[in-house]
Amino acid sequence: MTAPPHNSPVSLDLTREETWAVHAAVATEIDRLVDADEDPTDAIDLLRTIEADEPFETAELDYLQEILRTRVESDAPPEDRTIAQRVISQIESSA
C-alpha cells in the first residue's frame, strides 16, 4: 500500500457492520497476542483508534490491513471474511 501524502491521518467510511467486524478482528488479534505472550500494545492502540472513531495513521492502516488479511484467510464465518475484504479494498483505495 502506498502511504498517504505526508503521512496524513486517513478516515475510513465504515458502516456499522464493518466497524463491528473490524473491532472483532482486532480484539481477536489482541487475544492471540496475549495467549502467545506477545506485546499487544499496537493492537490495543489500534482498537482505541477504532473505538474513538479517529482517523488512522499510516502504520495503523498497515497493521489493520494485516489483521484483516489474516481474517480473510482464517476459518472465520464467510460474512466476516467478506466484510474484511471490503475494508481492505477501502484501505487500498484510500492510499
Span 46-56, pLDDT tens digits: 999 999 999 99
Range of the domain at 79: 14-94
* 82 lies in some domain: yes
Is 32 part of a structural domain of the chain? yes
Residue 78 lies in a domain: yes
Residue 74 lies in a domain: yes
Indicate whether 2 belongs to any domain: no
Number of domains in the chain: 1
**84 and 18 in contact (C-beta within 8 Å)?**
no
Q: Quick one: pLDDT at residue 7? A: 67
CA dist 58 and 31 (Å) reads: 23
Task: Look at residue 54 and tell me if it is in a domain.
Answer: yes
Residue 3 lies in a domain: no
Q: What digits encode the pLDDT tens for the residues 54-66? A: 999 999 999 999 9
User: Residue 82 and residue 63: Cα distance in Å, rounded?
Assistant: 18
pTM of the model: 0.87
Query: Residue 51: what pLDDT?
Result: 94
Confidence band (pLDDT; 50, 70, 90) for 36?
A: very high
Q: Report if residue 55 sits inside a domain.
A: yes
